[in-house]
Structure 1
């Protein structure tokens, strides 16, 4: 989105420019995949020169890292609405999978956050990202332990780590680049079994939850020994 002013001088114009850059990154990330988006792409989509992008963000990675932090907060809020109180593991697994499937950009960003994004920014930027992300994890932990009182906070944090790591990996497998997609189509013997992202994530989340629940699903009065 091109802003109606050439050089942002007023505070509200500067805030709008930052917003435009973030929107451009989100749009391109969904369209091309995060890994393929360059600083030049961001600038073109936002309607500014790439040097202008660097007046607001220290690097391309900083833009996407902020999007990742915002996406963590968004997911935490969505999950709080999606998980009913005193829910059984199957309902929680479904809520985890469905809310992630509804956020493809977040799943893609999860892949790149630690691999590249955190490594392309300053210590200050990483600190801000970690604080925001840990707050989101704490919110998700509250949601999970309220819905499943027999699950400890440590188990909930492990579940969050496991589910998001699986989601990041499954998303890449379910959405291969064009070269791999063509190869799989031409030679099925080389292809990974095509996966449906949400159903498989739901099954794997349920398996993770099985380690925290009793054989009688949803019974909080007993624990695995």
Structure 2
């Protein structure tokens, strides 16, 4: 580091970025549940008390990282090209495939999303919660726009419903697709049980495609 103590706002922002980079590096090695404030402070080269100068808790660090990971994912999704021609159903299927495969390539994001409500939103202040919720709302607005670029037949309201379902399915499917070793061994030992194993990308793709199909059908019905 080129400075020992962050004194300017630029230096403080740089220190926050270093802490988030360290947290991201740790999540490449271990799940959210195993990431500790002690391990984070060691990775970034700061005392725990100094880490807490920039983030009020471990959970606040991970919430900020979640926001950054979502922003990165949205930037990727924004570069995707909608299917030209074809029916609304076909374009929705294409969008579902893009969403599922892009999320599956981002295990840290999936892990953070699955822990958001049950872990990350605990041990934080109301101020941090407000800031986080506004950040997430902004991300959702961006994703609604991306959704409608791919499937313009979906209204903003229905696009919002589709994304709510996407988040709920992703949160449930991610941990379910990563069972403990004993369960993996059971799947290997008994092929009938192996059929129960969850494929995260396929579960998300199927849920988004089926929900979009239902919403498109409803859009065509007389009001």
Q: Specify the TM-score bucket, using the shorter chain as the normaliser.
A: 0.7 to 0.9
**1:95-118 per-position Cα deviation (integer Å, ceiling 9, x unaligned):** 111221122111111111111212
Cα displacement (A) at 1:154 = 1.4
SS in 2 for 1:9: coil
Give the drift of 1:10: 4.2
The alignment status of 1:181 with 2:181, answered yes or no, reads yes
Q: Is 1:151–2:154 an aligned residue pair?
A: yes
Residue 135 of structure 2, aligned match among 132, 143, 150: 132
1:60-82 CA-to-partner distances (Å, cap 9, x unmatched) read 01000111122222222222222
Specify the alignment match of 2:31 in structure 1.
33
Deviations 1:7-50 (A, max 9, x none): 33344433322111111111112311111111101101111111
Show the counterpart of 2:82: 84
- Offset, 1:186: 5.2
**Residue segments in structure 2 that go unaligned for 5+ positions in a row:** none
Question: What is the TM-score normalised by the length of structure 2?
Answer: 0.85
Match of 2:220 in 1: 223
2:18 paired residue number: 20
Offset at 1:197? 2.2
Structure 1 SS opposite 2:79: helix
Using the TM superposition, give the Cα deviation of residue 191 of structure 1 relative to its aligned residue in structure 2, in angstroms.
Answer: 6.4
- Partner Cα separation in structure 2 for residue 85 and residue 69 of structure 1: 28
Aligned residues: 214
Show the counterpart of 2:117: 114
- Per the TM alignment, residue 224 of structure 1 is displaced from its structure 2 partner at its CA by 4.5
Please report the TM-score for the alignment, with normalisation by the length of structure 1.
0.85
Greater shift, 28-37 or 180-189, is seen at 180-189
Q: Are 1:34 and 1:109, in contact at CA under 8 Å, matched by a contact in 2?
A: yes
State whether residues 76 and 137 of structure 1, in contact with CA within 8 Å, keep that contact through their aligned partners in structure 2: no
Q: Which residue of 2 aligns with 1:62?
A: 60
Aligned-partner Cα distance in 2 for 1:55–1:4: 18
Change (3 A) 1:191 1:54: farther
Match of 2:198 in 1: 195
Unmatched tracts of structure 1, length 5 or more: 216-221
Contact 1:118 1:126 in 2 (8 A): yes
Partner secondary structure for residue 109 of structure 2: helix
